[in-house]
């Protein structure tokens, strides 16, 4: 699954720089995660880095974007290939 940021986000700016896929960006109100770029850090780390640094735990799994570890790894490989 991809992750998403809930309305509890306080815009503390700690999640964006730790995302290895550059999936997190500032939205109109709060930070947002691009589900096409989010791999839950599969391919980079054992745990999602944004969840690790979030001081209020407002980054859960997105139930609308169910993906297996294998699918996340395939997405990671596509992202890495396009960045060459």
- pLDDT tens column, 16-68: 999 999 999 999 999 999 999 999 999 999 999 999 999 999 999 999 999 99
Please state the domain count of the chain. 1
CA distance 71 to 58: 24
Establish if 71 belongs to a structural domain: yes
Which domain, by its residues, includes 30? Answer: 16-83
Determine whether 44 is exposed, middle or buried from the number of CB atoms within 10 Å of its CB (0-12, 13-18, 19+): middle
pLDDT score, position 83: 84
User: Contact 62/4 with Cβ under 8 angstroms?
Assistant: yes
Establish if 45 belongs to a structural domain: yes
pLDDT score, position 74: 96
Establish if 23 belongs to a structural domain: yes
pLDDT score, position 1: 75
**Nearest CA to 67 among 30, 31, 41?**
41
């Amino acid at each position: 699954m991809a992750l998403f940021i809930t309305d509890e986000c306080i815009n503390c700016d700690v999640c964006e720089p730790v995302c290895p896929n550059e999936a997190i960006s500032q939205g109109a109100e709060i930070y947002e995660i691009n589900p096409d770029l989010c791999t839950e850090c599969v391919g980079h780390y054992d745990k999602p880095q944004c969840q690790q640094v979030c001081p209020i735990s407002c980054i859960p799994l997105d139930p609308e974007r169910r993906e297996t570890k294998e699918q996340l790894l395939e997405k990671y490989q596509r992202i890495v290939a396009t960045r060459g």
